[in-house]
């Protein structure tokens, strides 16, 4: 497993210790913390054997310059988690060298960058795709189905997490798109955190299962619902929806239904 070089990190800490008396304000402290984090990022980016990277940036006011990157930048990465508001340059670099992701986890904040579509398209071995729709995403919510159209046929697991009423009818379109273009998928995870703006109607759910039944090759579906006490209209709280799931379980279309509480997942 790649490790930070202790001598490099010590140089940064020693520099801060020598100049600790200049920390006159909280802003100074933030700036120095930013320097440390940036240096740590640079050292990790130099580890071409790195396999797991989580790079989430909730604030646009703080960015990290990790360039120039070495040749073969993160080419052995297998698991990647990042927020959609990271720099386009980083996404371009990942697209050029990172082609064998096993898991891709994206937190969609404010917008969906076109570079993300390119990164998805280039993947050769993607098994799990997860996206959290952050509460800042509004105008681009309907573009999510277009994003899922690029998911590779190797995909077997699809996870969608929505925050603060943001999963709309396009969520159903996203599911249908994944099923159309990813023939190997066998598990869908729905995670609810708050009430939905639009409920998934029983007629829509049944239409979804009918389309699933027609797929070739036929694979029973594992349906996982991660429920929250704050969500009052999740799929499992609709009696008619549960009857439909029970019917298609008996028909062998649904392999199993798993309902978990959010804090136990």
Task: Quickly state the pLDDT bin for 6 (edges 50, 70, 90).
Answer: very low
Q: What is the pLDDT of residue 254?
A: 92
pLDDT at 18: 53
CB contact set of 172 (below 8 Å; sequence gap of 6+): 200, 204, 208
Residues 6+ apart with CB under 8 A from 94: 73, 74, 77, 80, 119
pLDDT for 108 equals: 81
For residue 209, how many other CB atoms are within 10 A of its CB? 19
User: What pTM, to 2 d.p., does this model score?
Assistant: 0.65
pLDDT of 144 reads 67
Instruction: Inform me whether the pLDDT recorded for 239 exceeds 50.
Output: yes
Token pair in block for residue 63: 């960015």
More reliable by pLDDT, 173 or 254: 254
Q: Which two tokens stand for residue 99?
A: 């082609």
Bridge partners (DSSP) listed for residue 106 = 82, 131
What tens digit of pLDDT does each residue of 163-215 get? 544 454 455 666 676 677 677 788 887 776 555 544 677 888 898 889 888 88
Residue 122: count of CB within 10 angstroms of its CB? 18
DSSP, collapsed to helix, strand or coil, labels residue 179 as helix
Would you say 147 and 104 are in contact if contact means Cβ atoms under 8 Å apart?
A: no
CA distance readout (Å), 132 to 32, 75, 97, 106: 31, 25, 25, 6
Task: Kindly report, residue by residue over 215-234, the tens digit of the pLDDT.
Answer: 877 889 888 877 766 666 66
230 vs 90: CA distance, rounded Å:
36
For helices 239-250 and 202-213, give the axis angle rounded to 10 degrees.
20
CATH number of the domain located at residue range(s) 50-264 in this protein: 3.80.10
- The residue ranges of every structural domain in the chain are 1-47, 50-264
How confident is residue 158, by pLDDT bands cut at 50, 70 and 90? confident
Instruction: Tell which wins on pLDDT, 73 or 139.
Output: 73
Q: What is the pLDDT of residue 78?
A: 93
Whole-number Å distance between alpha carbons of 55 and 59: 12
**How far is Cα 198 from Cα 81, in angstroms, rounded to an integer?**
28
Confidence at 3, pLDDT banded by 50, 70, 90:
very low
Element housing 103 (H / E): strand 103-108
CA-CA distance, 24 to 221, in Å (whole number)? 59
Q: What's the mean pLDDT when you consider all of the chain?
A: 73
CA distance 239 to 4: 53
Rounded Cα distance, 196 and 265, in Å: 20
pLDDT, mean of residues 10-21: 51
pLDDT, one tens digit per residue, over 65-123 is: 555 555 666 788 899 998 888 888 888 888 888 899 999 998 887 777 888 889 999 99
């Amino acid at each position: 497993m790649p490790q930070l070089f202790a001598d490099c990190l010590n140089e940064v800490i020693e520099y801060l210790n020598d100049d600790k008396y200049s920390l006159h304000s909280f802003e100074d402290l933030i700036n120095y913390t930013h320097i440390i984090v940036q240096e740590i990022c640079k050292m990790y980016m130099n580890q071409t054997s790195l396999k797991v990277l989580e790079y989430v940036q909730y604030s646009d006011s703080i960015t990290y310059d990790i360039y120039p990157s070495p040749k073969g930048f993160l080419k052995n990465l297998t698991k990647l988690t990042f927020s959609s508001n990271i720099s386009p340059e980083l996404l371009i670099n990942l697209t050029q060298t990172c082609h064998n992701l096993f898991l891709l986890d994206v937190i969609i904040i404010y917008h969906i960058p076109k570079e993300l579509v390119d990164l998805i398209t280039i993947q050769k071995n993607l098994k799990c795709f997860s996206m959290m729709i952050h509460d800042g995403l509004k105008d681009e919510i309907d573009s999510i189905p277009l994003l899922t159209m690029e998911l590779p046929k190797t995909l077997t697991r699809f996870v969608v997490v929505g925050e603060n009423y943001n999963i709309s009818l396009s969520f159903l379109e996203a599911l249908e798109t994944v099923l159309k273009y990813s023939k190997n998928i066998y598990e869908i995870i729905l995670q609810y955190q708050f009430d939905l703006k639009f409920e998934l109607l029983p007629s829509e759910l049944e239409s979804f299962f009918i389309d699933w039944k027609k797929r070739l090759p036929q694979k029973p579906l594992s349906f996982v619902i991660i429920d929250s006490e704050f969500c009052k209209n999740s799929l499992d709280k609709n009696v008619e929806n549960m009857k439909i799931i029970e019917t298609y379980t008996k028909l062998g279309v649904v392999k199993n239904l798993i309902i978990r509480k959010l804090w136990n997942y």
